[in-house]
Structure 1
């Protein structure tokens, strides 16, 4: 067992960018926190791994080729590997607990 300290907790990014911190990595999954400040720009590219986002704080909208949806604390979003996706209209500092399966970047 391991308690993952800091996972899903807001950390102000340097400047106006975003902040990604990986808190756990094992071969089959990784867990981290992604923070986007209010008014910030999400500039991520599609990932080679499946991904689950859990919104722990903030509000925004997620956009994919299939549509868009508002997200707020408690929202859980699944994004399959390779799918374009982006958080837009970040109206409150957005904190996302992110789970990748397998571990982030392991299929690169």
Structure 2
């Protein structure tokens, strides 16, 4: 068993969005994504399926041509290679992020 401390708001040193990986095994990986209010989510589609669970903050999320408002408790599934992003972030946002299989960091090809 491994105990993981996660879900805290931790922006990058320059105050921008920040992803921190906490666990990686071949079948999945897990991390937290911190997006300060007003920040830009510049991510590209991934080769892995992804689940986000918003733990704090508020904003909007667009994926697959659909946009929704997100806040604590919102859970989102994004299939591999689908364009997606958080935007219009009005309160510092933290999301738990689960990738399956494990996140490689390699952009879609």
Name the TM-score, length of structure 2 as normaliser.
Answer: 0.92
Shift of 1:87: 0.4
- What residue in structure 2 maps to residue 47 of structure 1? 46
For residues 25-104 of structure 1, the aligned pairs below 5 Å read 25-104=24-103
In structure 1, runs of 5+ residues without a counterpart are: none
Shift of 1:106: 7.4
Greater mean deviation of Cα atoms: 74-83 or 9-18:
9-18
Q: Distance in 1 between matches of 2:63 and 2:8?
A: 25
Q: Distance in 1 between matches of 2:83 and 2:25?
A: 25
Q: Distance in 2 between matches of 1:81 and 1:65?
A: 11
How many residue pairs match? The answer is: 107
In structure 2, runs of 5+ residues without a counterpart are: none
- What residue in structure 1 maps to residue 11 of structure 2? 12
Shift of 1:65: 3.2
Q: What is the root-mean-square deviation of aligned Cα atoms in Å?
A: 1.5
Q: Answer yes or no: is the 8 Å Cα contact 1:62–1:68 preserved in 2.
A: yes
